[in-house]
Amino acid sequence: MRLGMTDLYDLARGCAFLGSGGGGDPHSSLIELEEALGPSGSVELIDVDSLADDAFVAPCGWIGAPTVSAEKLPSGDEAIRGLRKLESIMGRRADAVFPIEIGGSNGLAPMLLAIRAGVPVVDVDGMGRAFPESQMVIFNVAGLKASPAVLTDDKGNCVVIDSADNVTEERIARAVSVVLGASCHLMEYPLTGRQAKTTALRGTLSDALAIGRSIRISRESGKDPFAALFEALRASRQFSSAGVLFDGKIVDLHRETRDGFSLGRATIQAFGGNSRLEIEFKNENLVARVDGMVRAVVPDLITIVDRETAESIVTERLKYGQRVKVVGASAPRALRTPAALAILGPQAFGIQTPYECIELLNHWEGGA
Amino acid sequence: MRLGIDVGGTNTDAVLVSGNSVVACAKRPTTADVSSGIVNAIRGVLDAASVTPSALSRVTLGTTHFANAFVERNDLLEVAVIRLAGHAAEAIPPMSGWPKDLRQSITGVSFQLSGGYEFDGRENTPFDEAAIRNAALSIRAKGIQTVAISCVFAPIRRDMEERAAAIVREEVPGVAVTTSANLGRIGFLERENATIINASLVRIASKIMRSIDAALQALGIVAPCYVTQNDGTVATAQFVTGFPVLTFGSGPTNSMRGAAFLTGLEDAIVMDVGGTTTDIGALVNGFPRESSIAVEIGGIRTNFRMPDILSVGLGGGTRIRLNGTAPAIGPDSVGYRLLEDAYLFGGSTLTASDIAVKAGLASFGDVARVPDLPAGMLDEILRRFRQTFEDGLDRLKTSSADIPVILVGGGSILVPKNLKGALQVVTPEYAAVANAVGAAVAQVGGEVDRIVSYEKDGRDATLRELERVASERAVAAGADPKSIRVVDVDETYLAYMPGTHAQVRVKVVGEL
């Protein structure tokens, strides 16, 4: 499949939804792609099964603060320099790239790299949503190594990380990214084709594309974007149980910073009733409770969207008075195993609420 | 006595304000040259109040003329862009994402040069004086008269932009230079866009401001002249000549500031009911709450400080169609043809104004000309009007408590006086010239936008320092230091960053 500019806009919309409140604004990435692709260019998206077992596949993404990335825009060379360095370490050229994280603007990260390197993008990712730390990834769950990892910045700096373990890799990468100006490109978890086939979350790019496309088309034709969104989610490969958790207006927002995380709580009041939904977020939305009853827990997706347009709203952009729907969706099955939950479930965020499947919590039919 | 003038698309309004009250007002048609309409309105208001020009202490002008000039591509200049960014943003050249025709007509030449800062104020790459001098020489050779300079993280540190501007002025005699730090906030592309738009407008801005200056002189007015900006504060006429873009959103801001002054309410919802739409905004501390969403001007994303306005499709000229028992309200309007097309005025189109008069909410025109409606229809339409306004009110409110509502604009008769969610509904005297009132009473402001770490000095000391910088800027712009107060502190913790980094904006205002 080849993705043109319209597809990339749809993909960005879908990635924002899968960001579960995290990720950052894809606006500048889209403009960058428009400049690179021109009116008729496209990017090749391939199925993971078309990779040879011994292929070399490179996941990529950006690390830093979205607020900084909005001011210090990319040079356009960060990703390709990172890839070339990784290739020289591995002693071979990469056969394909893919996003380490589908959620938020990182879902678009491999597109420019694919254009520059002349390789296809694989229809997989490592997180199935957005997570705040790079060890919260399926490859870490599967016991694969993050190193060698390569960080590059706009100024020509390139830092290779060869860490003993994957949590240390995250800590080093985070600290170095701040030194380099808080907006860096990161290549990590270099994989073989076989590893990608057995561990990566399959079809998440086409899922995101279908989600974004369905919202756009329904709006263009004057139809209900939510009906289209749920149709796309039900038909998706990884997020098939989904529904509206709540419909109302943001009446309270509380933010604080603890241990270097932006923590917060948003309270949403139902229209014409006293029912309230409370969301705890830490960059991404983590737990949703309706009148004290848990309705969704990380890693299941909790996304706050505009109740008219179905456009996702990231936690940084939440404001009092916004009228929203809170949409929940099941996380990819691979993120719900005990081993995965230990790394990226509620306890990994210091949340005491135990994980329960969103479809059971909400008595949805046809759950996973 | 303060004179406020609002140059709108249709009318030019003038008001005289003394202390806390409006003394007189006048409304005259806007003219193509802008200045003769202003002269007519000023003469009108001075005559109405029987005062001489010497009684005026200051003149403040509100206009969206420059925004219109840009959207209509009127008299725009070719711009040279200098970026101080090292390699940052190289992937996204200036004017990326602009409408093609504008990009072609405005693009003179652009330079990506060494320079810029990081989020914490460190240099990204060093300032390269020779490279800037070379760029300036090539700008001069091309005969380009206006330059936009944008530096990465200029809102945090202005030095590089100022040094570059000085070099360009040295090398290119008579050139106009726009630096991005004066145009606000963090968000490189949006700020650069605003800088380029501004640079393209400096010729028409200087023409218009000169003609206004000449008009004031001809009237014998010697009081200082100010112009209102997007955020409801003023700048000197001379400053606005260099930064016309700062007036782009002043229309709705002035209307809301006028509403606050006329009612004495600092926290309220303002509904400006016009002919086609009702613009609803929230006053917080006497200033419009600002939009958090990037504002597009003529298809270009900018970072202007615009009020958060909800525009709903119901105004005095909105068309009403009767389809059985379910009437269709708008969204189209007869607009300025209300005085010809509405039944009230002898026309044959049913409008929201016809309904309001028929229902006895107001009396103007000839109610006998409005046809009778099927039983229950009038009530149904009024119920729908009410629902539209109550819905809009609820969207703008930030708490479930009731809040005062201030009505301005010609169509305010459409709004029921007992709106659900409203503590009270007030229509102040002079509501029809609220924009000019807002201009007359505008204060002077100062703003700062930084990314800070609370680790070094703690949150309190850091915020106090930012207040000090904002106050310093307000004083530099002419504020009386004793009158300065903080009207907004916007604090956003940076996601995905270790430590306690936050983006903080502080805005202060004071009296001139």
Among the partner residues B87, B92, B498, nearest to A178 by beta-carbon distance: B498
Cβ pair B399:A251 closer than 8 A: yes
Q: Determine contact: A260 vs chain B, CB below 8 A.
A: yes
Q: Does pLDDT of B343 surpass 90?
A: yes
In which region does residue B421 sit, left (phi positive, over 0), alpha (psi from -120 to 50) or beta (all else)?
Answer: left
Q: Nearest-CA distance from A227 to chain B in Å?
A: 23
Number of H helices, E strands in chain B: 13, 23
How far does the CA of residue B219 sit from the closest CA of chain A (Å)? 47
Mean pLDDT on B16-20: 94
B292 pLDDT above the threshold of 90: no
Query: Between B82 and A70, where is the model more confident?
Result: B82
DSSP letter for A367, please: -
Smallest CA-to-CA distance from A69 within B112, B300, B494 is with B494
Min mean pLDDT across A3-17, A270-284, B71-85, B487-501 is at: B487-501
Query: How much of chain B exceeds pLDDT 90, in percent?
Result: 59
| pLDDT band (50, 70, 90) for residue B58 | very high
Chain B residues with CB under 8 Å of A251 CB are 399-400
Q: Select from B152, B191, B496 the residue whose CB has the most chain A CBs within 10 Å, as the one to mutate to test that interface.
A: B496
* CA of residue B322 relative to chain centroid, distance: 38
pLDDT in tens, A77-108: 999 999 999 999 999 999 999 999 999 999 99
| Residues in chain B, overall count | 512
- Measured CA to CA, the distance from residue B208 to residue B444 in angstroms comes to 22
Type of residue found at A135? Q
B70 vs B73: CA distance, rounded Å: 5
Nearest by CB: A132 against B118, B188, B496: B496
Nearby residues of A276 by Cβ (< 8 Å), 6 or more positions away: A248, A251, A267, A268, A269, A270, A290, A291
Asked if B284 reaches chain A (Cβ–Cβ under 8 Å), the answer is no
Instruction: Choose the mutation target among A30, A67, A179 for the interface with B, i.e. most B CBs under 10 Å.
Output: A67
Q: Is the predicted pLDDT of residue B191 greater than 50, yes or no?
A: yes
Q: Tens digit of pLDDT for each residue in B96-142?
A: 989 988 998 898 899 999 999 999 889 999 999 999 999 999 999 99
- Residue-wise pLDDT tens digits, A26-42: 888 999 999 999 888 99
- Dihedral over alpha carbons A157, B152, B292, A281 (to 10 degrees): 20
The pLDDT of residue A27 is 87
- Please tell me the predicted confidence (pLDDT) of residue B199: 97
Q: CA geometry: angle at A248 spanning A243 and A249, to 5°?
A: 135
d(CA B23, CA B40): 18
Residue A366 pLDDT level (bands cut at 50, 70, 90):
low
Q: What is the ipTM of this complex?
A: 0.90
Question: pLDDT band for position B186 (50/70/90)?
Answer: confident
> What pLDDT score was predicted for residue A261?
58
**Token pair 């930084």: residue:** B450
Is A306's Cβ below 8 Å from some Cβ in B? no
Looking at residue A362, its pLDDT comes to 96
Amino acid type, A235: A
**pLDDT score at B194:** 94
Contact state of A74 with B89 under an 8 Å Cβ cutoff: yes
Q: What percent of chain B has pLDDT over 70?
A: 99
Coil, helix or strand at residue B316: coil
CB contact under 8 A, B492 and A320: no
Distances (CA, A) of A343 to A322, A351, B130, B144, B360: 33, 13, 53, 59, 68
This prediction's pTM: 0.88
User: Does residue A239 have a pLDDT over 90?
Assistant: yes
A159 vs A153: CA distance, rounded Å: 9
CA–CA gap between residue A302 and residue A354 (Å, rounded):
16
Cβ-Cβ contacts under 8 Å, A65 against chain B: 119, 494-497, 501
Omega before residue A66 within 30° of 0, cis: no
Model pLDDT, residue B10: 77
Name residue, tokens 């060890």.
Answer: A135
Residues 6+ apart with CB under 8 A from B124: A72, A154, A155, A181, B85, B86, B88, B115, B116, B117, B118, B152, B153
Band of residue B283 on the pLDDT scale cut at 50, 70, 90 = very high
Give the closest-approach CA distance of A180 to chain B in angstroms: 8
> In this structure, are strands A242-258 and A261-270 parallel, antiparallel, or unpaired?
antiparallel
**Per-residue b or e along B280-312, where b marks 16 or more CB atoms closer than 10 Å to that residue's CB:** bbbbbebbbbbbeebbebeebbbbbbbbbbbbb
Q: What radius of gyration, in Å, describes the C-alpha atoms of chain B? A: 25
Identity at B147, one-letter amino acid code:
V
Contact A22, A284 (CB under 8 A): yes
Instruction: Give the pLDDT band (50/70/90) at residue B39.
Output: very high
Is pLDDT larger for residue B182 or for residue A197? Answer: A197
pLDDT tens, residue by residue, A181-203: 999 999 999 999 999 999 999 99
* A308-327 residues touching B, CB cutoff 8 A: 315-317, 319-321, 323
Q: Do B86 and A155 touch (CB under 8 A)?
A: yes
Structure tokens at A111: 């597109």
Average pLDDT of chain B? 90
- Cβ <8 Å between B498 and A35: no
The residue of chain B nearest to residue A76, with distances taken between CA atoms, is B91
Judged by CB atoms closer than 8 Å, whether chains meet at A260 and B86 is answered as: no
Query: What's the mean pLDDT when you consider all of chain A?
Result: 94
pLDDT at A277 exceeding the cut of 60: yes
